Amino acid sequence: MFDEAFSVAAVADALGNLACRFDVDVLAECDSTNARLLTLAESGAPSGRVIAALHQTAGRGRRGRNWFSAPGDSLTFSLLWRLPPDAPLSGLSLAVGVALACALEDLGIAGVSLKWPNDLLLHGRKLAGVLIELVPGASPPAAVIGIGMNLRRPQGMPEDLCRTAAALIEADLEADIPLPATVELLARLLTALHEALITFAVSGFPAFREAWQKRHAFNDCAVQLLGDISEPLAGICRGVDFDGALLLETADGRQRIISGEVSLRPS
Ligand code: BTN
């Protein structure tokens, strides 16, 4: 598991019939797979272009943060997806979260849940993050969907991150189902994303809402929303709206939180 032969040919093999829908590059090292793919997208790279890296030297996280990973300890990749002209974009990152969660569950992994807007948790700790960046000026819209998943706790991970992080190697598995090799895992995630993105283009987030709510880690829980510039906002999580907005019951009534530029913390 988590090995070894992480090559373009091995990924194509693992993708089987879907290999023709993706154009995958595996880099030993790069700054950020999102940054690389954004550049390729701006010069016209087609939907389905994927860059995976064994190591990122400047991985990007949400809210301008860094994404910490260590060589071989994380699966880090980005997928370019071009959407039809009138496709909705709201809730895209939540739909991606649902696709990833379902793929892990299909691998027999228990304890996966979702934290708004786009974290994947394993037994309440962060297993994976999603960073979606829209390609500037692209019309119809195009999204670079970046995913970082901890396979093991990355060596040298800062202590504060370590406290809240999970790794796939810690997953509870249904009996007799071994964890997959990294290429197999990537292929499973890409396959799930492929199906989800096709559905999303037609039906938008409503097609994923129920599946998201079912996996919502903080439903009916007291939370705080922390922003860089705004005051913390306290309330009770009441799931998500039809467009992926978080519904928060606050002292001033129910509020719809649209901006992803906040972090949610359990109170
Ligand atoms: C988050 O902050 O939770 C989102 C993290 C997203 C990290 C991934 S790793 C692959 C891709 N390339 C990047 O530079 N970032 C994303």
pLDDT in tens, 60-115: 999 888 998 888 889 999 999 999 998 889 999 999 999 999 999 999 999 999 99
For the domain spanning 8-214, the CATH number is 3.30.930.10
How do the domains of the chain map onto residue ranges? Answer: 8-214, 222-266
Q: Indicate which residues carry an active-site annotation.
A: 62, 126, 265
Distance 120 CA to ligand 1 centre (A): 12
Q: What is the pLDDT of residues 246-256, one digit of tens each?
A: 999 999 999 99
Calculate how far, in angstroms, residue 130's C-alpha sits from the geometric centre of ligand 1. Answer: 6
Nearest atom in ligand 1 to the alpha carbon of residue 56 is 14
User: Mutual orientation of helices 182-203 and 92-106 as an angle, nearest 10°?
Assistant: 140
Domains 8-214 and 222-266 fall in the same CATH topology: no
- The pTM of the full predicted model, rounded to 2 decimals, is 0.94
Which contacts qualify for 196-200: CB closer than 8 Å, 24 or more apart? 196/95, 196/96, 196/98, 196/99, 197/81, 197/95, 197/99, 199/95, 200/87, 200/92, 200/95
Say if domain 222-266 classifies as CATH 2.40.50.100. Answer: no
| Residue pLDDT, tens place only, 6-46 | 899 999 999 999 999 999 999 999 999 999 999 999 999 99
Ligand 1 centre to CA of 98 (Å) is 17
Mutate to test the pocket of ligand 1, among 31, 39, 76 (most ligand atoms within 8 A of CB): 76
- 264 has a pLDDT exceeding 60: yes
What are the counts of helices (DSSP H) followed by strands (DSSP E) for the chain?
6, 14
Q: In the predicted model, what is the mean pLDDT of residues 127-138? A: 96
Cα 167 to chain center, whole Å?
A: 14
Q: Which atom of ligand 1 is nearest to the CA of 61?
A: 2
